[in-house]
Chains A and B, each alone.
Chain A
Amino acid sequence: MSPLTFAYESERRLRVAFLGTSGHAFRNFLPSLPYAPVELVALWDPDVARAEAFARQFGAPRWYSDLDRLLAETTPEAALIGVEAFEGDEPRNATLMARCLEAGCHVWTDKPLAGTVATARRLIAQRDRANRLAAVGIKTMFYPAYQKVRQIAQEPAFGRVASVTIRYPLHVPTQPGLAGSDREVRSCLGHIWHPFGAALLVAGPLRELHVQSAPIGGGGVALATFASGAAGAFHFASGQAGTSPLERLEVVGEGANVVVENAARLTYYRRGSPGPYGRTPSFLTESESAPLHWEPELSLGQLYNSNNFIQGYALSIIAFAQAALGGPPLQYGTLEDAVEVLKVFEALREGTRGMAAFPAD
C-alpha cells in the first residue's frame, strides 16, 4: 500500500458533516478522519451538549441538534453517520442516509444500514436518483488481513476457492422477531455484517445457507454454498469467554490455504509438499514453499498497528472519501454488498433452522 496522505496534506478535501456521538464514533470513526481527504465542517446529535463536546474534541467548527439546519447552513458535500439508535424496526442510519441523500450529500454510514432488504433497495434507488455515492462501513471488507486473503485467493497458485470457514460469535435468533422489539434479533442485525461481510469479500455471494442454532449460548453453526460453488462453514461462537479472540477465517484453495487469526495474524500455507509420509525427519520445507506469515509489530506508534486500520474503519472512510472526490470507485462496502448481508439477516431473523436460498438478483 502506498503511503497515506493525511487530511491536511490533501489538495482537495471533501467537506463532511458527522452525525452521531456514540462511543464508536469517539473511539473509531472520528479518529479516522485525519487520515481521509475530508474536512469536518459540522457535527450533529440530538443532544446538543454532546454534539458540542464531540465537535470541540475533533475540531468541528459548528455543531447542531437540528439536522435540517446543519444541512442548510453548512451544505456539506458528504455526511458520515455513526449513530446507534433505532426508529421502530429500522436503524436510524437508514433514515439519516435517506435525508442526507435528499439534501444532495454523498453518504457513508456505519452498519447496520437497514433492517430489511427492501429498505436497502429503496436506498439504492434513492442513491441512483440523486446520483450520489452511498457506502456502508462493513469493516471486515476493509481489514488489511482479509483484503490480503482476497488477493491470495485470486492468485493462480492458490487455485479456485474450494471452501471457507469463518468463526464469529454471532447471536442467532431462536425464533422469528423484529429488530425494534427483540434483543436477539437486534444483536444479530448489529453484528451480522462482520462474518458475512468477510465471506462476501473472500468468496462472493451465498447461494444457500443451512442454519442450526445452538440450544445453549445463543450461537450456532451454518453450512453454506457460495454462488461460486465453494462450500462454507460458519461457527457462530456466541457463549464464548469474554477474554477470547472473536474471529478466525480460513480459505482453502487447491493445494493451498490461508488463515487469519484474531484479525491480525495471517498465515499463507503455500502449495508445497511436506515430504514422503513417515520418512521426513524435518518439518522445515524448502523456502520457496514455506508458509508466509504476517503479524503487525506493536512497538511503534504507526498506522498499520492502529486498530482503526487493522479493523478497517479508517480504510472504509478513506475509500469512500476518495471515491466521492472522483478517485477509484467504491469496490467494497456498497449498498449492493449490504443487500447480500441483509438477505442472510432476513433468513436468520426468521429463526431459520433449515435451508435458506438466496437467488441472484
Chain B
Amino acid sequence: MQRFSHEYDRRLRIGMVGCGQHTMRNILPALQYAPVELAATCDLNRQLAELVGRQFGSARAYTDFVEMIGQEGLDAVYMAVSDNPRGSPYPRMAVAAMEAGVHVWIEKPPADTLAQAESMADASRRTGKFLGVGYKRMFLPTAIKAREIMASSEFGEVTAFHYTFRLSLRPHGAPVATDLSHPMGLVLGLMGPAETIYFERHPRTGSASISMRFASGALGNIFLEGRPSPNGPAERAIVIGDGAHLEIDNVIRLTYYRRVSKRGAYGREASFIGPNEDAPLFWEPEFTLGQLYNKNIFLIGYVGEVCHFAESVLDGKAPDRAGAADLIEIMRWTEALHQPSGTLTRLMPAAPASATRPEPAGRGAL
C-alpha cells in the first residue's frame, strides 16, 4: 500500500533544485508519496523557488544549490532544471552536489556525451554518493508488470521487441544530442543491455528505424516517428516471448496475449472465443475515482522513480534501476545513434561500471 510522505518512519532530508513547471506539475507532487522531507528549494529565480517551495511545504529558498546543501544539512537533492541550449547542465551540477556531500537524482536529459556520464559515475564512486536518473519509463506500472510477465515460464524466452515512440532523431553532427532518455529508458528497462545498434534516419523529419540486438540474444526494432500528429498517443511497445506476447499501448493499457493451449483448425473455427485459460489478459486503469493508480504521476512513473531513489538511499545502496550503470548504457546507445545514418555500431561488452548493472532480459532475468 502506498504511503504518503509524512507517514514514513524514516525520511530523507532533501532539497529541490529547479522550480519550473515540470517540477511543480510532476516532481514535487510525486515526492509527496516518497520517504522524503522537503527542506528547501533552489532556483536561479529566488522568487520562483519561494513561491513553488511554499506550495509544497518547503521552509527556505536558495539561488545557489551548493550553499543550500551546506546550510540545510541535506541527505539528497533532486534536480530538475531547464534544458540548456548549450548542453545538459546536469553533469557539472551533479558532480558538484556529490562533492558537496549529498546523493543526487537528476532529471533527463542527464548528459550530452558518454564522457559526461562517466564523469558523474566517477564522482559517485569517488564520493560514495549515489546517482539516480529520471528514466521514468523503467517505473511505469505497465512496464513493471510486463517485466513480471516476461520473467514467467509461460511467456518463454524473450525473443523480440518492437517499440514506436514519438520523437525525432537529430542528425549526425548536431550540437546537442537528441534526448533519448524516454524511449531508451523503456528499452533498457525491458530488454537489458545491447550488443549492436544499426539505424537509418529520414533526413528531413528525423524519423528513424533502429535495429538492436540485445545481450540476451533478443532482437529489437525501435521506430522513432519523426513528425506525426501530436494529437494522439505517443508510444506503443510489443514484447514477443515464445508463443506469447504482450503489448503496452499509450503507457496505460497492457494486454497479455497468453500461450494458447490448443490451436483451432485453420479455416474451420466458427468463433474467435476460446477457453478462459487461453484468453488475453487486459488491464486499463479506471478514470472515474480520485485514486492513486489513475494519477498521471503514478501512471507515467514519476512516483516510482523518485521513490526508488529515496528508498535505495535509505537502504544504503545504489539504485539498481535508473542509476549510474543505466546512464552509461543509454549514453553508449545515444552516441551510436549520432553516427551518420546507416552506421552499424558494435557496442563494447558491458563495462563494469557498477555491481548493480541489470542482467540481460530473458526468462527469469527481470
B32, A297: Cβ atoms under 8 Å?
Answer: no
A245 contacts partner chain B, Cβ-Cβ < 8 Å? yes
- Which of A31, A247, A299 interacts with B234 by CB under 8 Å? A299
B55, A263: Cβ atoms under 8 Å?
Answer: no
B296, A57: Cβ atoms under 8 Å?
Answer: no
From A68-76, A301-309, A339-347, the one touching the partner chain is: A301-309
B290 contacts partner chain A, Cβ-Cβ < 8 Å? yes
A27-B290, A264-B287, A298-B300 as given contacts; A58 in contact with B4, CB under 8 Å: no
A6, B300: Cβ atoms under 8 Å?
Answer: no
A26-B4, A300-B234 as given contacts; A311 in contact with B51, CB under 8 Å: no
**A139 partner residues in chain B, CB cutoff 8 A:** 290
Task: Give the distance in Å from the alpha carbon of A306 to the alpha carbon of B32 in the complex.
Answer: 15
- Which of A6, A53, A245, A302 interacts with B296 by CB under 8 Å? A302
Closest chain A residue, CB of each to CB of B59: A56
**B118 partner residues in chain A, CB cutoff 8 A:** none
B25 contacts partner chain A, Cβ-Cβ < 8 Å? yes
B173 contacts partner chain A, Cβ-Cβ < 8 Å? no
A313, B57: Cβ atoms under 8 Å?
Answer: no
B291 contacts partner chain A, Cβ-Cβ < 8 Å? yes
- Which of A57, A264, A307 interacts with B295 by CB under 8 Å? A307
A194, B55: Cβ atoms under 8 Å?
Answer: no
List residues 1-34 of chain B with CB under 8 A from any CB of chain A: 4-6, 21-22, 24-26, 29, 32
Task: Give the distance in Å from the alpha carbon of A53 to the alpha carbon of B21 in the complex.
Answer: 25
A31, B52: Cβ atoms under 8 Å?
Answer: no
B24, A6: Cβ atoms under 8 Å?
Answer: yes
A24 contacts partner chain B, Cβ-Cβ < 8 Å? yes
Contact indicator per residue, chain A 261-276, by CB within 8 Å of chain B (1) or not (0)? 0111000000000000
A299, B235: Cβ atoms under 8 Å?
Answer: yes
List residues 214-241 of chain A with CB under 8 A from any CB of chain B: none
**B22 partner residues in chain A, CB cutoff 8 A:** 301
Task: Give the distance in Å from the alpha carbon of A247 to the alpha carbon of B289 in the complex.
Answer: 10
List residues 324-364 of chain B with CB under 8 A from any CB of chain A: none
A307, B296: Cβ atoms under 8 Å?
Answer: yes
Task: Give the distance in Å from the alpha carbon of A306 to the alpha carbon of B58 in the complex.
Answer: 23
- Which of B234, B290, B297 interacts with A24 by CB under 8 Å? B290
Smallest CB separation, A338 vs chain B (Å): 19
Closest chain B residue, CB of each to CB of A53: B6
A299, B56: Cβ atoms under 8 Å?
Answer: no
**B294 partner residues in chain A, CB cutoff 8 A:** 307, 310-311
A301-B22, A302-B296 as given contacts; A8 in contact with B286, CB under 8 Å: no
**A291 partner residues in chain B, CB cutoff 8 A:** none
Task: Give the distance in Å from the alpha carbon of A263 to the alpha carbon of B56 in the complex.
Answer: 29
Closest chain A residue, CB of each to CB of B5: A57
A27, B26: Cβ atoms under 8 Å?
Answer: no
Smallest CB separation, A313 vs chain B (Å): 6
A57-B56, A301-B25 as given contacts; A247 in contact with B288, CB under 8 Å: yes
A295 contacts partner chain B, Cβ-Cβ < 8 Å? yes
B321 contacts partner chain A, Cβ-Cβ < 8 Å? no
A57-B5, A301-B296, A306-B296 as given contacts; A313 in contact with B290, CB under 8 Å: yes
List residues 308-329 of chain B with CB under 8 A from any CB of chain A: none
A59 contacts partner chain B, Cβ-Cβ < 8 Å? yes
A28-B290, A56-B6, A300-B234 as given contacts; A295 in contact with B250, CB under 8 Å: yes
Total B residues in contact with A, Cβ cutoff 8 Å? 44
Smallest CB separation, B167 vs chain A (Å): 10
**A53 partner residues in chain B, CB cutoff 8 A:** 6
A58, B57: Cβ atoms under 8 Å?
Answer: yes
B233 contacts partner chain A, Cβ-Cβ < 8 Å? yes
A33 contacts partner chain B, Cβ-Cβ < 8 Å? yes
A301, B297: Cβ atoms under 8 Å?
Answer: yes
B166 contacts partner chain A, Cβ-Cβ < 8 Å? yes
A246, B289: Cβ atoms under 8 Å?
Answer: yes
A27, B295: Cβ atoms under 8 Å?
Answer: yes
**B267 partner residues in chain A, CB cutoff 8 A:** none
B57, A301: Cβ atoms under 8 Å?
Answer: no
Smallest CB separation, B302 vs chain A (Å): 6
B251 contacts partner chain A, Cβ-Cβ < 8 Å? yes
Task: Give the distance in Å from the alpha carbon of A8 to the alpha carbon of B55 in the complex.
Answer: 9
B250, A298: Cβ atoms under 8 Å?
Answer: yes
B288, A245: Cβ atoms under 8 Å?
Answer: yes
- Which of B32, B48, B53 interacts with A57 by CB under 8 Å? B32
B296, A33: Cβ atoms under 8 Å?
Answer: no
**A262 partner residues in chain B, CB cutoff 8 A:** 284, 286-288
A305, B296: Cβ atoms under 8 Å?
Answer: yes
A245-B284, A299-B233 as given contacts; A307 in contact with B290, CB under 8 Å: yes
**A181 partner residues in chain B, CB cutoff 8 A:** none
B232 contacts partner chain A, Cβ-Cβ < 8 Å? yes
Smallest CB separation, B55 vs chain A (Å): 5
B233, A59: Cβ atoms under 8 Å?
Answer: no
B292 contacts partner chain A, Cβ-Cβ < 8 Å? yes
A317 contacts partner chain B, Cβ-Cβ < 8 Å? no
B299 contacts partner chain A, Cβ-Cβ < 8 Å? yes
B54 contacts partner chain A, Cβ-Cβ < 8 Å? yes
Smallest CB separation, B304 vs chain A (Å): 13
Smallest CB separation, B105 vs chain A (Å): 16
B251, A246: Cβ atoms under 8 Å?
Answer: no
B162 contacts partner chain A, Cβ-Cβ < 8 Å? no
Contact indicator per residue, chain B 164-177, by CB within 8 Å of chain A (1) or not (0)? 00100000000000
A79 contacts partner chain B, Cβ-Cβ < 8 Å? no
B252 contacts partner chain A, Cβ-Cβ < 8 Å? yes
Task: Give the distance in Å from the alpha carbon of A40 to the alpha carbon of B54 in the complex.
Answer: 10
A59, B57: Cβ atoms under 8 Å?
Answer: yes
B55, A245: Cβ atoms under 8 Å?
Answer: no
**A149 partner residues in chain B, CB cutoff 8 A:** none
Task: Give the distance in Å from the alpha carbon of A139 to the alpha carbon of B287 in the complex.
Answer: 12
A34 contacts partner chain B, Cβ-Cβ < 8 Å? yes
Closest chain A residue, CB of each to CB of B251: A298
Per CB-CB distance, the 3 closest pairs between chain A and chain B, nearest first, are A8-B51, A301-B26, A299-B234
Interface residues of A (CB under 8 A from B): 6-8, 24, 26-28, 31, 33-34, 40, 53, 55-59, 139, 168, 194, 243-247, 262-264, 295, 297-303, 305-308, 310-311, 313
What are 19 A-B contacts defined by CB distance under 8 Å?
A: A24-B290, A34-B24, A55-B57, A57-B57, A59-B53, A59-B57, A194-B288, A246-B286, A262-B286, A262-B287, A263-B286, A298-B299, A299-B300, A300-B234, A302-B296, A307-B287, A307-B291, A308-B295, A311-B294
Q: A8-B52, A8-B55, A311-B289 are in contact. List 12 more A-B contacts (CB 8 A).
A: A8-B48, A31-B32, A57-B6, A168-B288, A246-B286, A262-B286, A263-B288, A300-B234, A301-B297, A306-B25, A307-B296, A311-B290
